[in-house]
């Protein structure tokens, strides 16, 4: 059986104006005319509807646990009162219930009749009431607060764009994948070390119809599939140990083969066994070599969030790089850009790929660092001082206000070196610092960063595969239980060399505007010094009884 989620145009032709778009334009025009005569008329309104479909097949304990198809139609209304110079989206200084732009997802009917128009009308009315109230409070707020540090307009008017594109169908072999995830789950569960596990295929297809009062009319979207394996266990010291493997693609034909998946399953079990047996490391600082994927996540967390445009406008933000434009912040041989237009790089399809952002602006390359010199920020339609134009990075998940977010963050190194050369330099640095060993971080499972002024402006990058490299030539030793921590400017000042082979991290990133798909690409990165701190640790013992033996269907009931 094949699951096939509908295409907008099966023949590949440009998509014509749909009944959905026509209904949205009619309601938009009606609201614009009606609210235009109010005491606080809107200066801009956009409507975005996402037709979203998702397929999920997930197995646990060797059997299919989830077999689901979901469909939804979701609405976002962006409505601004005031003027482009000061509008209702402006940050409100001081404590107020109006500070938060909370919305929540609005679900629409799947047809284009009265029910859809009614729901759109009701949400426009709700968004207008909130915006009209807030602009009044904002004007009063400006009268009683000191002058803002970095005044800039709240909105950039733009020329309209009209583009209606086909989004290909998402075709999945349901029966084949149901059998595949189940057999892989059974294969994993044969290991006595695995206490909990899952194997999942999840595919989704989203088609966005976007209209606004400037005349922009867009139909665009994306397909995405992820196959993943999650293995969990408890070490003898109470440490919760996890192994997670995944692959993200746009094209179902690019999913891993059966042979690759079986190899993954065996590798995941071997990794779990190794991590369970590994000793916990101690807090320390010294030379660290991050492999490409680890370096990619590091730059995402430590640099990426700090160059989001909205963080340069908020009075409670640390603004680490606001005054660094034109200053050297990285070695001269490093560049950093964010380019959501790139679909494939280093042999991987990039999760952060998109053609238009969630404000209807074409995705563009944002140059962040060039030859080590800081050049600019990720920008959306809210300008910041010195940067009046969006570069197509306004993003959100449904139910949130768009903000500047990463797409495909790419670190490029000139004159990169091989891993053998970097390893030799790592050992030499440890010897120079009088240390018995240095560290290689092979995998990072994510992290978080604090960018405000009240809390330390620091990062925590969660290492999952970390190796001690001994200077006396002993074999490398896998350790667990430590995370990379520090502050950005100090960390970046300690970069001493980079690799010559970029690697890709695909994932999702959560921030104020919700969860969005992202990619980060980087070569290996050698630091003269970074700091590790202890990871949190569980206190429960492992299970007191051995788990049941997986029944492999043999005549003796699977006993062995």
Q: Which of 103-107, 194-198, 453-457, 460-464 shows the lowest per-residue confidence on average (mean pLDDT)?
A: 453-457
Q: Is the pLDDT of residue 469 over 90?
A: yes
Instruction: For residue 37, give the 3-state DSSP assignment.
Output: coil
Q: Is the pLDDT of residue 12 over 50?
A: no
The residue among 331 and 7 whose pLDDT is bigger is 331
Whether 329 shows a pLDDT value over 60: the answer reads: yes
The pLDDT value recorded for residue 101 is 63
Say what the pLDDT of residue 556 is. 37
Q: What is the pLDDT of residues 216-267, one digit of tens each?
A: 999 999 999 999 999 999 999 999 999 999 999 999 999 999 999 999 999 9
pLDDT category, 305, cuts 50, 70, 90?
very high
Stretch 407-418: mean pLDDT, rounded?
97
Number of Cβ atoms within 10 Å of the Cβ of 462:
16
Average pLDDT over residues 403-410: 98
* Alpha helices (H) in 396-536, listed in sequence order: 419-432, 488-493
* Total residues found in the chain within this entry: 560
pLDDT band at 13; cut points 50, 70, 90? very low
Cα 184 from Cα 513, distance rounded (Å): 36
What's the confidence (pLDDT) of residue 99?
54
For helices 19-35 and 114-144, give the axis angle rounded to 10 degrees: 40
Query: Looking at residues 522-534, what average pLDDT do you find?
Result: 96
Work out the pLDDT band at 513, boundaries 50, 70, 90.
very high
Q: How would you classify the pairing of strands 525-534 and 284-290? A: antiparallel
pLDDT at residue 71 above 50? yes
How high does pLDDT run on average in the chain?
A: 91
pTM of the model: 0.91
Per residue in 127-143, pLDDT tens?
A: 999 999 999 999 988 88
- As a whole number, mean pLDDT of residues 301-315 equals 89
For the chain, the domains span 2-277, 284-534
Q: What is the pLDDT of residues 427-447, one digit of tens each?
A: 999 999 999 999 999 988 877
Q: Which one-letter DSSP state was computed for residue 236? A: T
Q: What is the dihedral of CA 170, 173, 174, 178, to 10 degrees?
A: -130
Question: Which of 519, 508, 521, 510 is closest to 204 using CA atoms?
Answer: 508
Return the CATH number of the domain spanning residue range 2-277. 3.30.2290.10
Return the closest-CA partner of residue 451 out of 314, 299, 290: 314
Residue 199, pLDDT > 70, answer yes
């Amino acid at each position: 059986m094949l699951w096939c989620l509908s295409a907008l145009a099966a023949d590949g032709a440009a998509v014509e104006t749909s009944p959905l778009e026509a209904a949205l334009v009619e309601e938009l025009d009606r609201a614009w005319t009606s609210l235009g005569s109010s005491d606080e008329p809107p200066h801009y309104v956009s409507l975005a509807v996402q037709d979203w479909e998702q397929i999920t097949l997930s197995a646990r304990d060797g059997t299919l646990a989830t077999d689901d198809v979901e469909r939804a139609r979701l609405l976002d209304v962006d409505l601004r009162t005031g003027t482009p110079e000061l509008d209702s989206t402006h940050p409100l200084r001081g404590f107020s219930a109006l500070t938060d732009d909370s919305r929540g997802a609005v679900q629409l009917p799947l047809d284009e009749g009265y029910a859809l128009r009614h729901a759109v009308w009701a949400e426009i009315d709700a968004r207008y009431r909130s915006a009209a109230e807030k602009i009044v409070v904002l004007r009063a707020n400006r009268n009683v607060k000191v002058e803002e540090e970095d005044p800039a307009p709240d909105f950039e008017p733009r020329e309209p764009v009209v583009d209606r594109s086909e989004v290909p169908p998402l075709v999945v072999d349901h029966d084949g994948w149901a059998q595949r995830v189940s057999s892989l789950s059974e294969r994993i569960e044969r290991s006595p070390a695995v206490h909990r596990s899952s194997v999942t295929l999840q595919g989704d297809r989203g088609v966005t119809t976007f209209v606004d009062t400037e005349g922009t009319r867009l139909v665009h979207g994306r397909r995405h599939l992820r196959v993943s394996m999650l293995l969990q266990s408890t070490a003898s010291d109470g440490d919760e140990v996890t192994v997670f493997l995944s692959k993200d693609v746009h094209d179902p034909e690019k999913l891993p083969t059966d042979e690759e998946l079986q190899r993954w399953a065996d590798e995941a079990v071997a990794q779990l066994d190794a991590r369970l047996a590994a000793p916990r490391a101690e807090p320390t600082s010294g030379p660290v070599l991050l492999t490409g994927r680890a370096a990619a996540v590091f730059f995402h967390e430590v640099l990426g969030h700090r160059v989001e445009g909205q963080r340069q406008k908020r009075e409670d933000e640390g603004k680490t790089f606001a005054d660094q434009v034109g200053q050297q912040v990285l070695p001269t041989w490093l560049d950093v850009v964010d380019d959501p237009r790139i679909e494939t790089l280093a042999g991987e399809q990039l999760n952060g790929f998109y053609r238009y952002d969630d404000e209807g602006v074409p995705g563009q390359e944002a140059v962040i660092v060039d030859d080590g010199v800081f050049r600019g920020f990720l920008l959306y339609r809210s300008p910041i001082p010195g940067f009046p134009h969006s570069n197509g990075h306004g993003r959100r998940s449904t139910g949130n206000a768009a903000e500047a977010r990463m797409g495909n963050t790419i670190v490029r190194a000139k004159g990169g070196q091989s891993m053998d050369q970097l390893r030799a330099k790592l050992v030499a640095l440890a010897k120079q610092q009088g240390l018995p060993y240095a560290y290689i971080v092979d995998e990072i499972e994510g992290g978080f960063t604090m960018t405000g002024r009240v809390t330390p402006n620091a990062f925590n990058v969660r290492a999952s595969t970390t190796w001690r490299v001994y200077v006396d030539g002993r074999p490398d030793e896998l350790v667990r239980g430590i995370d990379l921590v520090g502050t950005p400017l100090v960390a970046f000042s300690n970069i001493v060399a980079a690799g010559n082979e970029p690697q890709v991290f695909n994932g999702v990133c959560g921030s104020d505007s919700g969860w969005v798909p992202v990619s980060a690409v980087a070569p290996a990165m050698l630091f003269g010094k970074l700091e590790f701190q202890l990871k949190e640790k569980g206190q429960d013992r492992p299970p007191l009884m051995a788990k049941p033996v997986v029944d492999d269907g043999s005549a003796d009931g699977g006993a062995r």
